[in-house]
Amino acid sequence: MPESRHTYDDRKNILREELFGEESFDGPYSLLYHMGEPTRVKAVKKVPRNPVDRDHADVMLHRHFQTGLMEKKGDFVSGRRCLMFNSTVRLSVARTSEKGRSLYRNALNDEVYFIHSGRGTMKSVLGDLDISEGDYLYVPKGTTYTLDAPSGLEFFLVESRERASIPPRYLNVYGQIKEGSPYYTRDIRVPRLNAPSTDRGSFPVLVDFGDYFLLEERDMNPFDVAGWDGYLYPFAISTSSMAPIVGKLHQPPPVHETFSGKSFMIGTFLPRKFDFHPRSIPISYYHSNIDTDEVLFYSSGNFMSRKGISPGSVTLHVRGLIHGPQPGALEAAIGKADTDEVAVMVEAYEPLKVTGDAMSVEDKSYMESWYR
Ligand SMILES: [Fe+2]
């Protein structure tokens, strides 16, 4: 990179500087130095997309979707199946059958993947990141990338119009992750930049505008960055390196927070010791989540407070209806020392709508599972 930003070192070989930033020029950003012009696009065309099969829920109910029953299809873009959405978040799952083939850029949303199974490599304009089961992968909106997973991937995906970030309360005023947070700087894996490509050929990039794609036809490989620095970049964190917070008494979900936006949070329930009060009830109390809809993606382990749940299950606990342990779960939990569960939680302030894809794998008996 040049010694100073906005300058060149070699008049005969000027690198093309791109400011890659969120929130206009006020948010986090990185400076990327391309070999070619990042604006070089031969043609663009609109590509229609199957619209999200909207709002199929007739009434608000607690629901259970068995996404493990969905057939495997597509790649990391075409295989996405939206389950729920509101105006700021979109929650999807994918069970891919094809290796990632598209170069892709999400124009509207930050993306937080939770890798439920499989392994692969995210190859991006900022470098490569290997990912595997149990990882979170954060991709800022506007990143050009592909997700190469030859043996298939299963993931739960949160797309967010709002910036999805490390929860601000985990950061000190200097921007460092504080002691007491469930993960640390060293747990964050950053992309590894390879030698810049100078390949010419056909490099189509699918740009995701939600209801349609724009296909950019490029004749140079967009992964032509010779160097970058800054604060906006994809990263991965393994849930196995996280340190869940436990206590003498039952800890509320916010201690399990992993990422947050203005109107949602993503939390992770991890293998952990249960509460150590001699008469503790180690599972969740009954609760009314008055202002949020609560979604859980169950990945692995024994989900003690829930019957009929299996890996890949997604539950929706809606505001307005009390939920909590199912009959018998509380008694069964007393005296247990630990849990091996891994589950991802999303709380959304704006009501979520349920799609036809979700309803196609709904376990309709879930609401009755609290009554016997
Ligand atoms: Fe809950």
Place of tokens 């873009």: 77
pLDDT score at 323: 94
All residues with CB under 5 Å from ion ligand 1: 294
pLDDT score at 55: 74
Distance 221 CA to ligand 1 centre (A): 46
pLDDT score at 133: 98
Reported as a single tens digit per residue, the pLDDT across 228-266 is 999 999 999 999 999 999 999 999 999 999 999 999 999
pLDDT score at 27: 93
Distance 154 CA to ligand 1 centre (A): 24
Which domains are present in the chain? 42-52+71-239 (2.60.120.10), 242-370 (2.60.120.10)
Q: Is the pLDDT of residue 372 over 80?
A: no
Q: What is the mean pLDDT of the chain?
A: 95
Band (pLDDT 50/70/90 cuts) for residue 57 is confident
Query: What is the pLDDT averaged over residues 196-208?
Result: 97
pLDDT score at 10: 93
pLDDT score at 298: 97
pLDDT score at 75: 95
pTM: predicted TM-score of the whole model, two decimal places: 0.96
User: How many Cα neighbours within 13 Å face the side chain of 355?
Assistant: 18
Distance 1 CA to ligand 1 centre (A): 49
pLDDT score at 59: 87
Distance 280 CA to ligand 1 centre (A): 18
Query: What is the pLDDT averaged over residues 290-298?
Result: 96
Q: Is the pLDDT of residue 157 over 90?
A: yes
Distance 313 CA to ligand 1 centre (A): 15
pLDDT score at 201: 97
Query: What is the pLDDT averaged over residues 356-365?
Result: 95
Say which residue, 52 or 215, is predicted with more confidence: 215
Q: What share of the chain in percent tops pLDDT 70?
A: 99
Distance 340 CA to ligand 1 centre (A): 18
